[in-house]
């Protein structure tokens, strides 16, 4: 091979090597570029990783620091818990009372020293001991006084109690006479917290309290018994004094002697009122006062009270008015004696503390027929001295009076309102007063009263001719009340305040004139006279008078056609109107007859304690058989003075009177004497009035006979009159004996076949002293 060839070959080889080199260089630079890119990416990644590592590192450091804080907080909390636990435990230890807690298996977890002391140093009482074992130790070691129960029964009782979800506290006595009240409370997980409270001093105090209460009650009973005895002992002779004084004033006396007799009577009566107040109050205090509900007529009771007060009101020139809601029932079930007592006290005070003007008793109420209940609302309003504002709450207290120079002249015990308040509260009601000094007072009470189911009085039958009444009275309120009653009956009313006004208001359509008696200028009687003398002679006139005796005065009877006692009970008004109708009918039939008053009938229906009301003259029994017997009256009364008083009181009546000195004699006299009427004292030796009556009723049984028996009760008995009516007595009268009421009862029950009560056939003025 030539050189050239060799050179060419070399050249070619060189070229090829150069190309290869170029190729390799290109590959290398591509690889380099790739490597560069890789390196760049890697660097980026490393940077990122480094940042992440730094963050993690930071976080780690933070966690570490947080952990540290938590650890330190935990430590502090632990310390706090320990302190709290220490304090709690310390406090529990300081307790004077025992404290322990048990787990749900009734094993002791811990207890304070006071609790452990109960066990008097017994070493076995440590945490872990069971409740049952504790009970066992208590009885075995004689640490507990199990009393009459005995240890076994006591443990079983205590164990049973422990297992209850909420054991009731129990009192146990320790050997050293200490008393513990054990209170155990079960928690959620079944743990039980036990408290053992030392109540020794409380128990001792309670014992002392019980002992002193028993002593006080005994003393109170002794006081009540003493007061009851005393009042009975004082009352019996006082009844004699009052009765005799009443009889004495019936005899011919000169003025001075009459004054003395009346003073004896009034003082005696005042003393009886005081004794009764004191007695009632002591009974209420001793919780001995019982209520005796029975059906009664409230409106009637109100009028009875008013009638009793009427004389004092009349003497002072006060108008005493009753405004009974026309739409309110009148028959209720309640204790009429006690309700009358409250009414008497409130209305009596109103009259006592009023110099001029009026006293009005107003009754309204809300009745609910479904439950037969009625909320009765009674107010007693006066125009008297009133009560200063600061004393208003004071007057219902015991022995409290508005004492200043103004009212020292008023008598009274200061007990009336306190008694009334207690009575009203006992009856489930409330009592209050509104008053303005110098203007007047309004006392009121509200009482829930069941309505009596007995049928109401039949509607009055009024004469159809009665259409227009001329009403004459100078007390506007009185006119207003009467007007309401008349309007309710569908009667037209023209009102006039004076007789002169009445005369000029008179017109043809008027068919009745009702006039007050004491009118200014011309009085009611003069008005009647003038009417009779003029063209209206045929128009009947009824006179309103506050005196119960007016109806019996001959000149009044001559001039008017009837007398209504003011304030007029609705029944009396209706009866009088009906009676006018009856005589109008009789006139129409041309029959001449003396109009008879219905007062007797009204009284008989009025209840046991009806006060003196105008009573009618009895019709003379002209056709009486000459041999007719006299009415037989038996009076059972052990007290000789009262017998004497009774005898004198009935002496002008034509009756055969026999006395019995006790219940046994009364029963005997019932058999032998055959009385038409018996007055029966309740408290008598040997056999009391209730027993005697029961015996008489037993003897009557099956014979169809029923002798009326009227109980004579001391005031002291009215509260405990339990069974007086149940024992078969028909009525009762309260001592001191009242002539008018005794006469009234005798007249009511006089048999038709007996001789007239008034021997000369003349009208006896029953109710007149």
Within 10 angstroms of residue 315's Cβ, the number of other Cβ atoms is 9
Q: Which of 329, 412, 600, 756 binds ligand ADP (CB under 6 A)?
A: 412
E strand or H helix that includes residue 165: none
Q: Using the rule CB under 6 A, is 239 a contact of ligand ADP?
A: no
- Contact criterion met (CB below 8 Å) for 715 and 609: no
User: Which range touches ligand ADP (CB under 6 A), out of 116-124, 413-421, 470-478, 624-632?
Assistant: 413-421
> Closer to ligand ADP at the Cβ: 305 or 466?
305
Q: Enumerate long-range contacts of 219-225, CB under 8 Å, 24 or more apart.
A: 220/285, 220/286, 221/286, 223/282, 223/286, 224/282, 224/283, 224/285, 224/286, 224/288
Least CB distance from residue 416 to ligand ADP, whole Å?
3
Supply the DSSP symbol for 107.
Answer: B
Dist. CA 134–CA 299, nearest whole Å: 74
Q: Using the rule CB under 6 A, is 662 a contact of ligand ADP?
A: no
User: Which range touches ligand ADP (CB under 6 A), out of 301-309, 398-406, 538-546, 629-637?
Assistant: 398-406
Q: Which residues in 170-209 contact ligand ADP (CB under 6 A)?
A: none
Residue nearest to ligand ADP (CB): 412
Dist. CA 663–CA 237, nearest whole Å: 21
What are the phi and psi torsion angles at 448 (to 5°)? -85, 120
Q: Using the rule CB under 6 A, is 353 a contact of ligand ADP?
A: yes
> Closer to ligand ADP at the Cβ: 396 or 670?
396
Dist. CA 442–CA 617, nearest whole Å: 40
Binding mask 421-460 for ligand ADP (x = CB under 6 A): --------------------x-------------------
Supply the DSSP symbol for 400.
Answer: -
> Closer to ligand ADP at the Cβ: 282 or 441?
441
Q: Using the rule CB under 6 A, is 402 a contact of ligand ADP?
A: yes
Within 10 angstroms of residue 197's Cβ, the number of other Cβ atoms is 19
> Closer to ligand ADP at the Cβ: 413 or 549?
413
Which is nearest to 299 in space by CA: 518, 485, 442, 578?
Answer: 485
User: Which range touches ligand ADP (CB under 6 A), out of 178-186, 409-417, 472-480, 704-712?
Assistant: 409-417
Sign of CA dihedral 104, 108, 110, 114: positive
Least CB distance from residue 340 to ligand ADP, whole Å?
15
DSSP letters, 287-306, are: T------EEEEHHHHHHHHH
What are the phi and psi torsion angles at 603 (to 5°)? -65, -45
Least CB distance from residue 401 to ligand ADP, whole Å?
3
Least CB distance from residue 389 to ligand ADP, whole Å?
12
Q: Using the rule CB under 6 A, is 417 a contact of ligand ADP?
A: yes
Most distant pair of Cα atoms in the chain: their distance = 214
> Closer to ligand ADP at the Cβ: 284 or 678?
284
Least CB distance from residue 736 to ligand ADP, whole Å?
20
Q: Which of 106, 194, 379, 401 binds ligand ADP (CB under 6 A)?
A: 401
User: Which range touches ligand ADP (CB under 6 A), out of 39-47, 324-332, 400-408, 622-630?
Assistant: 400-408
Q: In what order do the strands lie in the sheet with 358-368?
A: 319-324, 358-368, 373-382, 440-450, 430-436
Which is nearest to 241 in space by CA: 275, 211, 286, 283?
Answer: 275
Q: Using the rule CB under 6 A, is 276 a contact of ligand ADP?
A: no
> Closer to ligand ADP at the Cβ: 308 or 582?
308
Q: Which residues in 360-389 contact ligand ADP (CB under 6 A)?
A: 382, 384-387
Binding mask 311-350 for ligand ADP (x = CB under 6 A): ----------------------------------x---xx
Rg from Cα positions in the chain: 51
> Closer to ligand ADP at the Cβ: 440 or 663?
440
Q: Using the rule CB under 6 A, is 413 a contact of ligand ADP?
A: yes
Q: Which of 388, 414, 450, 581 binds ligand ADP (CB under 6 A)?
A: 414
Q: Using the rule CB under 6 A, is 580 a contact of ligand ADP?
A: no
The half-sphere exposure of 57 on its side-chain side, counting CA atoms within 13 A, is 6
Least CB distance from residue 181 to ligand ADP, whole Å?
46
The distance of Cα 331 from the centroid of its chain, to the nearest Å, equals 19
Within 10 angstroms of residue 372's Cβ, the number of other Cβ atoms is 15
Dist. CA 249–CA 259, nearest whole Å: 9
Length of the chain: 769
The footprint of ligand ADP (CB under 6 A) covers 345, 349-350, 353, 382, 384-387, 395, 400-402, 407, 412-418, 441
């Amino acid at each position: 091979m030539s050189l050239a060839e060799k050179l060419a070959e070399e050249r070619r080889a060189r070229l090829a090597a150069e190309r290869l080199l170029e190729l390799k260089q290109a590959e290398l630079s591509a690889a380099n570029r790739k490597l560069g890119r890789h390196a760049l990416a890697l660097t980026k990644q490393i940077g990122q990783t480094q940042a992440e590592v730094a963050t993690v590192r930071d976080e780690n450091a933070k966690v570490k620091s947080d952990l540290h804080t938590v650890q330190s907080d935990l430590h502090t909390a632990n310390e706090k818990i320990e302190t709290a636990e220490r304090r709690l435990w310390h406090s529990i230890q300081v307790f004077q009372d025992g404290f322990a807690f048990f787990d749900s298996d009734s094993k002791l977890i811990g207890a304070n020293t006071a609790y452990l002391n109960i066990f008097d140093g017994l070493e076995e009482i440590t945490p872990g001991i069971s409740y049952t074992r504790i009970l066992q130790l208590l009885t075995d070691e004689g640490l507990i006084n199990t009393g009459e129960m005995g240890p076994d029964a006591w443990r079983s009782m205590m164990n049973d109690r422990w297992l209850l979800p909420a054991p009731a506290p129990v009192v146990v006595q320790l050997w050293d006479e200490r008393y513990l009240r054990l209170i155990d409370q079960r928690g959620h997980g079944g743990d039980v917290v036990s408290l053992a409270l030392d109540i020794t001093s409380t128990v001792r105090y309670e014992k002392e309290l019980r002992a002193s209460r028993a002593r006080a009650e005994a003393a109170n009973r002794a006081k009540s018994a003493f007061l009851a005895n005393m009042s009975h002992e004082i009352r019996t002779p006082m009844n004699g004094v009052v009765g005799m004084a009443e009889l004495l004033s019936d005899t011919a006396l000169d003025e001075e002697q009459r004054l003395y007799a009346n003073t004896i009577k009034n003082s005696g009566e005042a003393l009886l009122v005081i004794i009764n107040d004191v007695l009632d109050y002591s009974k209420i205090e001793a919780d001995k006062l019982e209520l005796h509900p029975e059906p009664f007529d409230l409106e009637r009771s109100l009028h009875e009270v008013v009638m009793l007060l009427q004389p004092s009101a009349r003497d002072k020139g006060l108008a005493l008015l009753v405004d009974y809601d026309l739409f309110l029932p009148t028959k209720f079930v309640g204790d009429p004696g006690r309700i009358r007592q409250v009414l008497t006290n409130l209305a009596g005070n109103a009259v006592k503390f009023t110099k001029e003007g009026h006293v009005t008793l107003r009754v309204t109420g809300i009745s609910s027929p479904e439950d037969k209940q009625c909320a009765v609302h009674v107010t007693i309003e006066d125009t008297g001295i009133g009560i200063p504002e600061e004393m208003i709450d004071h007057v219902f207290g015991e022995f409290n009076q508005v004492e200043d120079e103004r009212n020292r002249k008023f008598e009274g015990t200061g007990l009336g309102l306190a008694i009334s308040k207690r009575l009203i509260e006992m009856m489930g009601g409330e009592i209050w007063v509104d008053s303005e000094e110098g203007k007047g007072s309004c006392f009121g009470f509200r009482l829930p009263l069941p309505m009596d189911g007995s049928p109401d009085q039949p509607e009055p039958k009024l004469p159809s001719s009665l259409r227009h009444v001329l009403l004459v009275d100078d007390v506007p309120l009185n006119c207003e009340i009467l007007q309401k009653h008349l309007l309710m009956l569908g009667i037209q009313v023209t009102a006039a305040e004076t007789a002169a006004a009445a005369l000029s208001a008179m017109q043809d359509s008027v068919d009745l004139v009702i006039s007050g008696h004491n009118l200014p200028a011309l009085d009611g009687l003069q008005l009647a006279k003038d009417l009779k003398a003029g063209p209206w002679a045929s128009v009947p006139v009824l006179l309103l008078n506050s005196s119960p005796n007016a109806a019996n005065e001959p000149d009044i009877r001559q001039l008017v056609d009837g007398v209504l006692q003011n304030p007029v009970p609705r029944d009396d008004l209706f009866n009088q109107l009906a009676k006018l109708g009856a005589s109008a009918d009789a006139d129409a039939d041309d029959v001449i007859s003396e109009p008879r008053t219905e007062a007797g009938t009204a009284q008989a229906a009025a209840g046991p304690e009806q006060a003196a009301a105008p009573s009618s003259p009895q019709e003379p029994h002209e056709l009486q058989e000459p041999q007719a017997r006299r009415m037989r009256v038996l009076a059972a009364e052990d007290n000789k003075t009262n017998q004497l008083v009774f005898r004198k009181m009935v002496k002008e009546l034509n009756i055969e009177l026999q006395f019995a000195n006790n219940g046994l004699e009364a029963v005997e006299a019932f058999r032998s004497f055959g009385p038409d009427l018996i007055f029966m004292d309740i408290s008598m030796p040997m056999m009391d009035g209730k027993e005697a009556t029961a015996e008489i009723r037993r003897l009557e049984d099956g014979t169809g006979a029923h002798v009326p028996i009227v109980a004579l009760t001391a005031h002291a008995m009215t509260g405990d009159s339990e069974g007086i009516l149940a024992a078969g007595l028909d009525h009762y009268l309260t001592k001191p004996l009242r002539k008018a009421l005794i006469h009234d009862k005798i007249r009511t029950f006089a048999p038709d076949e007996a001789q007239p009560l008034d021997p000369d056939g003349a009208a006896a003025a029953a109710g007149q002293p």
